[in-house]
Structure 1
Amino acid sequence: MAFLVQSKQAKPEEILLLAYGREAAEEMRERLEKKLGVKGITAATFHALGRCIVERVEKRPLEVSPMATDKAAKTHFINTVFEQNQRKPAYQQLLLRYFERWLHPVRNPFDFKTLGEYYRFLEDNGIRTLKREQVKGFGECDIANFLFMNDIQYQYESGYDTPLQSPDRGLYRPDFFLTEYNVYIEHFGIDRNGGTAPYIDREKYHADMVWKRRVHTEGKTRLIETYHYEKQDGTLLDVLRQRLEKFDVKFNPLPDEAVLETLREFGAVKKFSVILGDMLSLIRGANLSSDELRAVVEQAAHPHQIQAALHLLAPIRQAYEDQLHDSKNVDYDDMITKAWRYVKEDQFQSPWKYIIVDEFQDIAKSRAEMVLALKEKQQDVSLFCVGDDWQSIYRFTGSDISFTSEFEKRFGATQPNELDKTFRFNSKIGDVASKFVMRNPKQLVKDIKSHAVADCPMVSLVRASLGTKKEKKDAIDRITQRISEIAPAGSSVYFLARLKSELPDLEALTSQYPNLTFKNDSIHTSKGKEADFVVILGVVKGEYGLPSEKVSHPLIEALLPKAEAYPHAEERRLFYVALTRAKHRVYIVTDMRKCSPFVLELVKDRHPLTLEDLDGCEEQRLVSASTCPVCLEGNQVLKVNGKNEQSFLGCTNFPRCRHTEPCCPTCRGPLRPAQGAYRLCKKSGCRGWVAICPTSGGQMVYRESAKKWGCSHYQKGSANSCGYMIARIPAPRAT
Structure 2
Amino acid sequence: MLAAIGFITLAIVVGMVLLRARSAKPLSATEASAVDAGTRWATDVQEAIAHAEQELRWITRDQCLEWAASRPARVSARTLKRLDPVVRSAVEFVCGDLSLLVATVNGRIRERALVERKKFVDSIESQPLTDEQATAVVTMDNRVQVVAAAGSGKTSVMVARAAYAIRFGFVPADKVLLLAFNRDAAEQLQSRLEGRFAAAGMDSTGFAANTFHAFGLSCIGRATGRKPRLAGWLDGGQDVATVSRIVDELRDSDVGFRFKWDLYRLLFARMGENSAEAQPDAYDKKSRTTGFGTMRGEVVKSEGERLIADWLFLNGITYEYERPYSHDVADESHSQYRPDFFYPDVDVWHEHWAIGPDGEPPAAFVGYAESMRWKKQTHRRFGTTLLETTWTEILDTTGFGPLHDQLAERGITFDWNPDRARGTEAVSHEDLAKLIRTFMAHVKSNGFTREVLEERWGRSRRSYRSRVFLDIYWPIHEAWQRRLEQDQSIDFEDMLIEAARHVEAGADMGYEMVLVDEFQDASPARARLARALVDRPHRYLMTVGDDWQAINRFAGADISVMTDFNSWFGEGPTLRLQTTFRCTQTIADTAAAFVQKNPRQIAKTVRSFRSDAGVPVSLIRLESEDQITDAIGAWLADLSAKVSSATVDILGRYGFERKLLPRAPYPNLTVTFRTAHSSKGLEADYVLIPRMVSGTYGFPSEIVDDPVLRLVMSDADRFPHGEERRLLYVALTRARKAVTLMTVSGRESSFVAELAKAGALAESPLSTAVPVVACPACGQGALVARTGPYSEFLGCTRFPACRHTQRLS
TM-score, length-scaled by structure 1: 0.71
Of 20, 38, 41, the match for 2:207: 41
The one-letter code matched in structure 1 to 2:598 is N
**SS of the residue 2:717 aligns to:** coil
1:14 touches 1:352 (CA, 8 Å); kept in 2?
yes
How far apart, in 2, do the equivalents of 1:612 and 1:544 lie? 24
Structure 1 pair 533/657, CA: closer, same or farther in 2 (3 Å)? Answer: closer
Tell me if 1:617 matches 2:769. yes
Residue 57, structure 1, aligned to residue 223, structure 2 = yes
Q: Give the superposition deviation at 1:429.
A: 1.2
Partners of 1:162 and 1:616 lie apart in 2 by 57
Report the CA distance between 1:68 and its aligned residue. 2.6
User: Which of 331, 334, 349 is equivalent to 2:494?
Assistant: 334
Q: 1:301 to 1:590 in 2, by over 3 A?
A: farther
Could you say which residue in structure 2 is the equivalent of 1:144?
309
Asked if the contact 1:503–1:537 (Cα under 8 Å) also holds between the matched residues in 2, the reply is no
The answer to whether the 8 Å contact 2:745/2:769 transfers is no
Question: What residue is the counterpart of 1:447 in the other structure?
Answer: 605
**CA–CA distance in structure 2, aligned partners of residues 303 and 221 of structure 1:** 34
Distance (whole Å) between structure 1 residues aligned to residue 590 and residue 636 of structure 2: 22
Contact 2:596/2:603 (<8 A) preserved = yes
**2:736 aligned with 1:583, yes or no?**
yes
Match in the other structure for 1:350: 509
Aligned to 2:13: none
What SS is found at the alignment partner of 2:702?
A: coil
Match in the other structure for 1:490: 645
- Does the 8 A contact of 2:441 with 2:556 survive in 1? no
**In 2 relative to 1, CA 538–81 (structure 1 residues): closer, same or farther, beyond 3 Å?**
closer
743, 746, 753: which one aligns with 1:600: 753
1:282 aligns to 2:437 (yes or no):
no
Determine which of 413, 416, 422 is the counterpart of 1:252.
Answer: 413
SS in 1 for 2:318: coil
Q: Distance in 2 between matches of 1:523 and 1:403?
A: 23
Q: Give the conservation status (yes or no) of the 8 Å contact 1:151–1:251.
A: no
**One-letter amino acid of the structure 1 residue matched with residue 275 of structure 2:** P
1:437 pairs, out of 577, 582, 595, with 595
Match of 1:523 among 666, 676, 694: 676
Provide the secondary structure at the position in 2 that maps to 1:106.
Answer: coil
Task: Give deviations 1:532-568, integer Å, cap 9, x for gaps.
Answer: 1111232233323333333222333422333424333
Residue among 236, 242, 245 paired with 1:79: 245
Instruction: Compare 563-572 and 648-657 and name the one that shifted more.
Output: 648-657
Q: What is the alpha-carbon distance in structure 1 between the residues aligned to residue 702 and residue 256 of structure 2? A: 36
**Shift in Å, 1:504:** 5.2
**1:161-197 Cα shifts (integer Å, max 9, x gaps):** 99999xxxxxx99865645467776767688999779
CA distance in 2, matches of 1:145, 1:549: 21
Select between 177-186 and 402-411 the one with higher mean Cα deviation. Answer: 177-186
- Return the alpha-carbon distance in structure 1 between the equivalents of residues 389 and 297 of structure 2: 23
Cα deviations across residues 46-82 of structure 1 (Å, max 9, x unaligned)?
0000111122233234333233346447734663476
- What's the CA shift for 1:514? 1.6
Change (3 A) 1:450 1:129: same
Query: Are 2:321 and 1:153 aligned?
Result: no
Question: In the TM superposition, what are the counterparts of 1:651-690 in structure 2 within 5 Å?
Answer: 672=807, 682=808
SS in 2 for 1:4: helix
How far did 1:285 drift? 3.3
Aligned residue in 1 for 2:56: none
SS in 2 for 1:538: coil
Deviation for aligned residue 1:343: 0.8
Distance 1:413 1:584, change over 3 A: same
Q: Structure 2: which amino acid aligns with 1:589?
A: M
- Kindly state the Cα deviation for residue 477 of structure 1 after the two structures are TM-superposed: 3.1
Q: What letter is aligned with 1:547?
A: P
Checking the alignment, whether the CA contact within 8 Å between 2:293 and 2:306 is kept in structure 1 is: yes
Q: 1:66 is paired with a residue of what secondary structure? A: coil
The equivalent position to 1:425 in structure 2, one of 583, 592, 599, is 583
Q: Given the alignment, which residue of 490, 500, 506 partners 2:655?
A: 500
Return the match for 1:374 from 519, 522, 533: 533
| 1:413 to partner: Cα distance | 2.9
Unaligned runs of 5+ in 1: 120-125, 166-171, 662-669, 673-681, 684-735
* One of 512, 515, 520 as aligned partner of 1:361: 520
Deviation at 1:502, TM superposition (A): 2.5
> Does the Cα contact within 8 Å between 2:504 and 2:532 map onto a contact in 1?
yes
State how far apart, in whole Å, the 2-side matches of 1:430 and 1:146 are.
49
In 2: Cα distance, 1:23 partner to 1:523 partner = 18
C-alpha change, 1:251 and 1:457, in structure 2 (3 Å) is same
Distance of 2:592 and 2:721 partners within structure 1: 16
The 1:78/1:568 distance shift into structure 2, 3 A limit, reads closer
Does residue 109 (structure 1) correspond to residue 275 (structure 2)? The answer is yes
Q: Aligned partners of 1:270 and 1:298: how far apart in 2?
A: 29
Q: Is the 8 A contact 1:64 1:329 kept in 2?
A: yes
Equivalent pairs counted in the alignment come to 626
1:25 counterpart = 2:186: yes
What amino acid is the match of 1:52? S
Aligned Cα RMSD in Å? 4.9
Q: 1:368 to 1:291 in 2, by over 3 A?
A: farther
CA distance in 2, matches of 1:658, 1:595: 14
1:461 aligns with 2:619: yes
Between the aligned partners of 1:636 and 1:307, the Cα distance in structure 2 is: 42
Q: Distance in 1 between matches of 2:351 and 2:263?
A: 25
The structural deviation recorded for 1:29 is 1.0
3-state secondary structure, aligned to 1:576: helix
Q: Given that residues 746 and 797 in structure 2 are in contact (C-alpha distance below 8 angstroms), is that contact kept between their aligned partners in structure 1?
A: no
Task: Say if 2:239 and 2:437, in contact at 8 Å, map to a contact too.
Answer: no
Rg bigger for which structure?
Answer: 2
Using a 3 Å threshold, how does the CA distance of structure 1 residues 420 and 455 change in structure 2: closer, same or farther? closer
Q: 1:636 to 1:275 in 2, by over 3 A?
A: same
Change (3 A) 1:224 1:230: farther
Q: Describe the SS at the equivalent of 2:448.
A: coil
The whole-number CA distance in structure 1 between the counterparts of 2:240 and 2:487 is 14
Partners of 1:381 and 1:356 lie apart in 2 by 11
Query: Residue in 2 aligned with 1:390?
Result: 548
Distance in 1, matches of 2:165 and 2:435, equals 47
Query: Quick check: 130-139 or 184-193, which moved more?
Result: 184-193
**CA contact 2:617–2:762 (8 Å) conserved in 1:** yes
Partners in 2 of 1:264 and 1:313 — Cα distance? 24
Structure 2 CA distance for aligned equivalents of residues 272 and 3 of structure 1: 49
The offset of 1:585, in angstroms, is: 1.1
Structure 2: unaligned runs, 5 residues or longer: 1-161, 199-203, 285-290, 331-336
* CA distance 1:297–1:118, change in 2 (3 Å): farther
Deviation at 1:43, TM superposition (A): 0.7
Task: Report the alpha carbon displacement of residue 442 of structure 1 after superposing the two structures with TM.
Answer: 2.7
Q: Distance in 1 between matches of 2:375 and 2:455?
A: 47
How far off is 1:14 after superposition?
0.5
Q: Which has the higher helix share?
A: 2
The farther-off stretch of 367-376 and 67-76 is: 67-76
SS at match of 1:23: helix
**AA matched with 1:587:** T
Q: Cα gap change, 1:24/1:293 in structure 2, threshold over 3 Å: closer, same or farther?
A: same
Instruction: Using the aligned pairs only, state the percent identity.
Output: 29
Aligned AA (1:590): T
Distance 2:348 2:784 in 1: 35
Aligned runs of 1:236-247 on 2, under 5 Å?
none
Q: Is the 8 A contact 2:648 2:671 kept in 1?
A: yes
